[in-house]
Structure 1
Amino acid sequence: MNSRPRIAIIIGSTRPTRLADKPAQWILQQAQARTDMDVELVDLRDHPLPFFDEMASNMWMPSRNSEAVRWQETIARYDGYIFVVAEYNHSITGVLKNALDQAYREWNRKPFTAIGYGGTGAARAIEHLRGIGVELQMVSTHAAVHIGGSDFMAIHPANGNKPVAAIEASLLPAAKTALDELVWWARATMAAKAAEA
């Protein structure tokens, strides 16, 4: 068994004016600086999914839409996930919820963490994400990275437009803990699945 889990950083916003690229690139750099995981960006812009319209979840029957199948094949390659979460009206974006709904078996028994941004650091959106993840039989890390308050305003294009590196001193401890937990759970779930096989 490969002890280095493959991790996808899933960018959960597709708006042309999204802020998501800044935190996505920053968490990618943090993950790439480690030697205990292999990490790649997965952008929902590259997966033009329809609104979920299948007869049932792919847990019960194969999906018919080719984009849904391509999405399932993409996420199936990974052992864990880092979601880049914007908070829209106290929850995750519609495109991220739709992407989560477009698969089921591929998410099962895999861990995830998140980096969220917004006035409250996307705390409410990440809590919603955790509830969805539990229903998909995923494992959430305890820690997540929250970019909120004055840090959020500092990197927002309409205000300071600073790079995330300018505020990273307040983010690094949470990022380290979240990534440590993600790797631990990825190794644990990978080992358990290998033992079952």
Structure 2
Amino acid sequence: MTKIGIIIGSTRPGRLGAQVAGWVHEVSAQRSDAQFELVDLAEFRLPLFDQAVPPAMGGTGGPETQAWVRAIDTLDGFVFVTPEYNHQLPGALKNAIDFVCAGWANKAAGIVSYGVAGGAGAAAQLRQMCGLLGLADVPAQVSLHLATDFENFTVFAPSESRARSLEELLDRVVAWTAALEPMRSARAASIA
């Protein structure tokens, strides 16, 4: 079965991403067209990217890095749950993305962003990165605003319209992931 990872893109104490990712996981668990799993960056405890040999040239890093790369390799697609810090992608997510090279290719990705402006800046940066990594980012997006989608800016309370937007995003991620499967299979066969 197709496996989609829901990546929590923040490691900051008190982050809201765990609430948002939990909602994405809860909604996705009602589906039968793919298997969805939470992937929490905080659990990997990745160091700051400082490898002398980058992943594109065969660098593998230490045990934490290798566990992260293996986790990404086992997934067929992704839903990134990302906050926006200073109108940009969080450093922890950018750092984690840099540790992986081939594991992103020929997979689909959706973006659920949140912040004061709905995470628009972070989502835009993530889309640019996806293109460069060979990740097909779906056009559907869920943008959550701290003032309207969170009670007192801290407790996530999604509206029904947000749930419909999430369903559309999940539909596209699953469809695009399936469409890219022949490319992933061909690549795997060429490596074997």
The two structures share one fold, judged by TM-score above 0.5 = yes
Provide the residue aligned with 1:189 in structure 2: 180
1:98 aligned residue: 95
**Any unmatched runs of 5+ in structure 1?**
none
Match among 60, 66, 83 for residue 80 of structure 2:
83
Q: Partners of 2:61 and 2:114 in 1: how far apart?
A: 34
Equivalent in 51, 54, 57 of residue 54 of structure 1 = 51
Report how far residue 189 of structure 1 moved.
1.0
> Could you tell me which amino acid in structure 2 is paired with residue 39 of structure 1?
F
Distance 1:104 1:170, change over 3 A: same
Q: Which has the higher strand share?
A: 2
When residues 189 and 30 of structure 1 are mapped into structure 2, their CA distance, relative to the original with a 3 A threshold, is same
Match of 1:169 in 2: 160
Cα RMSD over matched residues? 1.5
Q: Deviations over 1:75-117 (max 9, x none)?
A: 1110001111000011111000000001111111111111111
**Are the structure 2 counterparts of residues 32 and 64 from structure 1 closer, same or farther at C-alpha, using a change threshold of 3 Å?**
same
> Which whole-Å deviations, capped at 9, do the CAs of 1:136-164 have from their partners, x for residues lacking one?
1111010111111632343622xxx3x43
Which residue of structure 1 aligns with residue 62 of structure 2?
Answer: 65
| Runs of at least 4 residues off by over 6 Å | none
- Per the alignment, do residues 138 and 47 of structure 1 end up closer, same or farther by CA in structure 2, a change over 3 Å counting? same
TM-aligned CA deviation for residue 170 of structure 1: 2.3
**d(CA) in 1 for partners of 2:108, 2:34:** 13
1:36 counterpart SS class: coil
Separation in structure 1 between the aligned mates of residue 173 and residue 16 of structure 2, nearest angstrom: 24
Paired amino acid for 2:108? P
Aligned length: 188
Q: Does 1:125 align with 2:116?
A: no
CA contact (8 A) 1:86 1:125 kept: yes
State the distance in 2 between where 1:73 and 1:143 align. 27
**Whole-angstrom CA distance in 2 between matches of 1:64 and 1:25:** 30
- CA contact 1:85–1:117 (8 Å) conserved in 2: yes
Offset at 1:16? 1.2
- TM-superposed deviation, 1:195: 4.8
- The answer to whether the Cα contact below 8 Å between 2:114 and 2:146 also exists between their aligned partners in 1 is no
Given that 1:11 and 1:44 are in contact with CA atoms closer than 8 Å, whether structure 2 keeps it comes out as yes
- Name the CA distance, whole Å, in 1 between partners of 2:179 and 2:33: 13
- Greater shift, 51-60 or 83-92, is seen at 51-60
1:5 and 1:32 map into 2 onto residues whose CA distance is: 13
Q: Which residue of 1 aligns with 2:19?
A: 22
Which sections of structure 2, spanning at least 5 residues, go unmatched?
none
Distance 2:30 2:120 in 1: 26
CA contact (8 A) 2:106 2:183 kept: no
Maintained 8 Å contact 2:109/2:136: yes
